[in-house]
Amino acid sequence: MYSRQKLVLLLIGTMCLLQKTTAQNPIFRQLYTHRYLTNPALVGNGSQEGISINRIASGTKAQWLSLDSRLVTQTLSFDAPVKANNSSWGIGAFLTDLHSGGGENSKYSHFSGTLTYAYNIPLKKMNLKFGLSAQYSAISFGADQFDWEDQINENMTGFVKPTAEIQSRLTKNVVHASIGALAFNKKGFFGVALHNVNEPSISFFENNSQKIERKFLVHGGIVLNKLFKNAVVTPNFSYALQGDVASQNFSTNVKLSNIQFAFGAQHIRAYGNEAWAINNYFGFRYDKYFIGYSNDWNLNFNFGSIPVTHEVSIMILLNRKEKKESVNPFPEM
């Protein structure tokens, strides 16, 4: 019979595979739509025609739709500046589920709720902004949805024997924190963020230790608004490192009145493997509503069975009564 230690080791392997995509720290392609997940210092920087606004943002990210197992992440958030001073706040939540088979049974799920605070220091030529977020997470592992080694028959032809392993759903509750900083003006931005500062343990048993590793993120972009008439072009990049997983993304966002589109490329290095993907984005705003769609196309033949990641977002821009100006060089994607 498997020991508890071996059970946790299997769980660790599962978590590591998920960590490459969403898992404990989901990274949406539309970084500046779901700002609380990207950098705590980004909350409260929404604007419309240069006027500060409140934002409601929602998104759904779906992966591996062509396989029996499908990974789906959903998020909903609200952020707003505080009218009395230079601070901002935001709340957000996300849910990740790994479904298996036609029964839509969940092998793995992760729910998180986040509260974020940020403070802006306006300087002569730029703004410095700092953010802090506290996150509560409930992580569940459906042990009954996996096949185990003791189920393999003597001829090694299939998982046909009953297992002696735990057949229940295990849940772990943790609290973790993230910090971030931004320097920005109308011409561009540069930011850094450190997620999971306290590296909370997500082990289901006391005699094991598996942590959510710290994730370091650096991102930036420049704003080019004189290349051609009425267009705002924002080349931008992001680099994320968490344990053995590193991701680099380069993208260019183009805004033409109420229409935005973007093209980019991503390189991922994880556990001795490397892969490239290209991505595209299209968004449209009507009045205070903004909808966007993006997808990633995998270029690495070693992972040809999971070629596409889909992402849909909806934002509601809430006008504020006081007409406070806001610097917002960040693409909404």
What is the structure's pLDDT at 188? 96
What is the structure's pLDDT at 151? 67
Give the whole-angstrom CA distance, residue 133 versus residue 90: 9
What is the structure's pLDDT at 314? 96
φ/ψ (deg, to 5) at 15: -60, -40
What is the structure's pLDDT at 3? 42
What is the structure's pLDDT at 309? 85
**pTM assigned to the model:** 0.81
Give the whole-angstrom CA distance, residue 119 versus residue 43: 9
What is the structure's pLDDT at 230? 82
What is the structure's pLDDT at 215? 94
What is the structure's pLDDT at 8? 37
What is the structure's pLDDT at 10? 36
Using H for helix, E for strand and C for coil, what is the string for the chain?
CCCHHHHHHHHHHHHHHHHCCCCCCCCCCCCCCCHHHHCHHHCCCCEECCEEEEEEEEEEEEECCCCCEEEEEEEEEEEEECCCCCEEEEEEEEEEEEEECCCCEEEEEEEEEEEEEEEEEECCCCEEEEEEEEEEEEEEEEHHHCCCHHHECCCCCCECCCCCCCCCEEEEEEEEEEEEEEEEECCEEEEEEEECCCCCECCCCCCCCCECCCEEEEEEEECECCCCCCEEEEEEEEEEEECCEEEEEEEEEEEECCEEEEEEEEEEEECCEEEEEEEEEEEEEECCEEEEEEEEEECCHHHCCCCEEEEEEEEEEEECCCCCECCCCCCCC
What is the structure's pLDDT at 109? 79
CATH of segment(s) 4-319: 2.40.160.40
What is the structure's pLDDT at 208? 66
What is the structure's pLDDT at 135? 95
Query: For every one of its 333 residues, what pLDDT tens digit does the chain have, with 9 covering 90 and above?
Result: 334 444 333 333 333 333 333 345 677 889 999 999 999 999 998 887 777 889 999 999 987 655 555 678 899 999 999 877 899 999 999 988 765 544 455 567 788 999 999 999 999 999 999 999 999 998 887 656 666 666 677 676 776 677 766 666 678 889 999 999 999 999 999 999 999 999 988 877 666 677 889 999 999 999 998 777 789 999 999 999 998 899 999 999 999 988 999 999 999 898 888 889 999 999 999 988 999 999 988 887 555 445 578 999 999 998 766 677 788 899 876
Domain boundaries, the chain: 4-319
What is the structure's pLDDT at 237? 96
What is the structure's pLDDT at 14? 36
- pLDDT tens-place string over residues 112-159: 999 999 999 999 999 999 999 999 998 887 656 666 666 677 676 776
